[in-house]
Each structure stands twice: as C-alpha cells, then as structure tokens.
Structure 1
C-alpha cells in the first residue's frame, strides 16, 4: 500500500477566539510530516498537545464516485454498536432540509468509557456527537455519541461542524460527510476522530482531518475512561 503524508497542523486557539461565519481557524505547520501506511496507524500516533489536528491526504476527502451520488437524496447512517458498546463510523449526505428547527434537549445517555470528573478547566468529558446536532438534529442516540474531551468537542470538532453548517446555510447545497471514531484495540475511549467532508454541487468545501481526543494536563486511560492529573 502506498504511503501518504499526513501534515500536522497546529491549531492556534485562545479563549478569546470565536468562530464567526465562514472563518477558518488559524493553523501553523509542524517541522516534519508523519508517514503512515494504514489508517489503523492513526490510533498509534503519539499526540503532541500543541498539535491536536492532523491533516490527512493533503486535506482531500477520500470518497468514491458512488459515495458522492445524490441518487438517494439526503440521508444519514450510523453503524451498530460493537460488542463493547462502542460506536462505529457515521455517514451522511447533508442538506438544509435535515437541519433541526427545535432546540436541543439535554443529553442523558452515556457512551462507552464515560468516567467523567472535574478537572481544573471544568468537566473533562463531553458526550460528543459524531454528526453534530446542528446538522441533522440527531441527539440522544448512542450510535452517534462518543466520550470526548472538552477540547475535542469544542473548539476542535465544532470548528469543522460550523464550517459545514455555514456552507449549507449559505448555498443550500449538499455535503457528503463522514466521521469515524478511531479506537485502539479493545479500548473504550476513542483515541481521536477522523472527519471528512466534500461539497457536491461545487468544490467550495472539502477537508479530511484527524483530531486527537486529548486534554492538556490530563492523563487519560483509554481502556476505561478513567483519568488523572
């Protein structure tokens, strides 16, 4: 299998930075790329806490022509839970019609590895949607939730979800979307998530990234979800 280059990008985010409109977060490029031969190796990448977002395949989505077809209109699909009650890949063909009009109700179901506790910055974990509520209105669905750190959920995943949502609202076009949790072995907490998106009617939107499920200053036991400072 051909090797491809993953360029690590540094997300420059401070507490005062907010996502506005179609603004993309600022990034800086690391000194050296990481080479991997298989996607499974994403689970084995050692995270640098200054480099939470990794760009895959030069940010080009890896959908096939069939994946990008509008023959079935708008849809979403979630993988069944595995024997450890872990989620799998979530796929969708997003459109404006799928976006919710009602307010989101509180989350109350617990994904695998949910061992939440307070850390200096607040609660360590969020119940992270694979396909964000703002995109399809899917909420308390265990097939769409992982145990994710505060920084994984917001700002990291939210920045890319907002980019997709803003594009759809502005153009009324479709977006092929996929979010894949990356687990290592039989661990209950994902090491990270891979997010891919590509606009259908034009080429204005496309990304292929991996986000580490980490929190600065916290040591996470991915096998159980327990943590220590």
Structure 2
C-alpha cells in the first residue's frame, strides 16, 4: 500500500513539473531533432511563422493547362538578410516528419549562378518509388536550390518533379542569370515545396526572387507539379495520358 502511495506521489510531482511553463516544450524537444512545429512546416528553422493558409491554398490549386500561378501580384516578400549576414552559400530547410524536402534559399551572383537543377542522383527520396521509376518520361528528380558545388547533393535538396515543372523552373532561373549578367547585381531566391496532406510528391513549388541592390527585378510565382497531357497522382506516382 505504501509502495503504491509513493508511486502516485512521484507521478503527481512529475506531472506538476511538466505543466510548468516551457518545461514540456523542452522535454518534448529532447526526443525530436526539431520541435514539432518546425517538423510539420508551421515555422521554419529560424522560427519564422509561415502562412499555413497560403500554403494550403496553393496546394489545392487545380490544373487547367497553366503551370504558372502568379502570387501577390508577382511582388516578392523575400527576406534574405539572414543570408547576407551569414557566411552560408545557401540555406536548406530540414526535412519534415515524412522525410520530404521543404525548401531553401540562396543569394545568386556572378560567382554563383543557377545551374541545371535536374539531378540523376541514386539517392532515395520521398515519393520516388517503383511506379515513379517506371514513368520517368513524366517524373524526374529536381533540386530545391539549383546549385552544384562539387559536393554530394544534400538529401533535403531533392524532390520528385514532373518534366514540365522542371522546365518552368529552368526558365525562371535563366531570367535570374540573365539579370545578373546584365547588371552585375545579386538576386535572392527562395523555393518552398508545397504538399497536399501526406502526399510524398509535391503539388508544386512556390518560388520567389528579388534583386538585392536595386529591387528592380523580382517575381513571386507558384509552379504546379503537373505534366501537360497527363493526369498525375501525387500520392502514388501513377500517371495516365489524357
């Protein structure tokens, strides 16, 4: 009886400690690589609150043979001050709980221009299954940040993309390169990978860019992860020709 009372007393003390401000958060984070909100994509690794409403709205956009959706009247709200102040070449967000790449950002300049972002890496990534493997006429592996610095491509810099999405991203990345070559300015670039629910394959990519020195160059778009003349399934990777 005394033993049971002791156990109950200990449990009560533990419960009282856990309900204290910040204690539960610290205990919870001890058993995870990152806190839950970061893993679920609600906030980024810098603690910045992300717009769940915007991401949800973008993830549910229907495909009507138009891959590009202009966001915020094409005005970028990109903030790259953290990159300017750090020595990082680029920054990638950690993968989420479902092992999916989430996005990243970079400052492009004369010494670091966008490169071909299609990668033939053998790395296992979320969404790349046997069905996708059989349909490589539609699917490919794309890099979040289109840069190759001679190192192995980080696992959180790759996602499953349609060939059409890859081409559209390349078009806008070329615009960045052209602007830098013409003006010698730097351009901030951010890509946020958007998923619908638990789908391992993204619904699309939210891409923003903004020139650093003069703010004369910018865009803010959402590119749907769709393929012309095909119906694609972002859960299974199945494709069906229209």
TM-score (norm 2): 0.67
Tell me, in whole angstroms, the C-alpha distance in 2 between the residues paired with 1:194 and 1:94: 18
Of residues 116, 119, 130 in structure 1, which corresponds to 2:144?
130
Cα distance, 1:117 vs. partner? Answer: 4.7
Q: Which has the larger radius of gyration?
A: 2
1:42 counterpart residue number: 58
SS in 2 for 1:38: helix
User: How many angstroms does 1:106 deviate by?
Assistant: 4.6
Partner of 1:166: 178
Distance of aligned partners of 1:97 and 1:118 in 2 relative to their CA distance in 1, 3 Å threshold? same
Question: 1:138 Cα shift?
Answer: 7.1
Distance 1:108 1:67, change over 3 A: same
For residue 25 of structure 1, what is the aligned residue in structure 2? none
Equivalent residue, structure 2, for 1:29: none
> Which is strand-richer, 1 or 2?
1
SS of equivalent residue, structure 1 residue 46: coil
Structure 2: which 5+ runs fail to align? 1-52
Unaligned runs of 5+ in 1: 1-36
Give 1:92-131 correspondences, 5 Å limit: 92-99=106-113, 106-115=120-129, 116-117=132-133, 123-131=137-145
Verify: 1:91 aligned to 2:105, yes or no: yes
Task: Report the aligned-residue RMSD.
Answer: 2.7
1: CA distance, partners of 2:219 / 2:88? 20
Give 1 or 2: higher helix fraction.
2
Q: TM-score, normalising length from structure 1?
A: 0.71
Counterpart of 2:36 in structure 1 is none
> What is the CA–CA distance in structure 1 between the aligned matches of 2:103 and 2:143, rounded to whole Å?
12
Count of matched residue positions in the alignment of Structure 1 and Structure 2: 185
User: Does the 8 A contact of 1:68 with 1:176 survive in 2?
Assistant: no
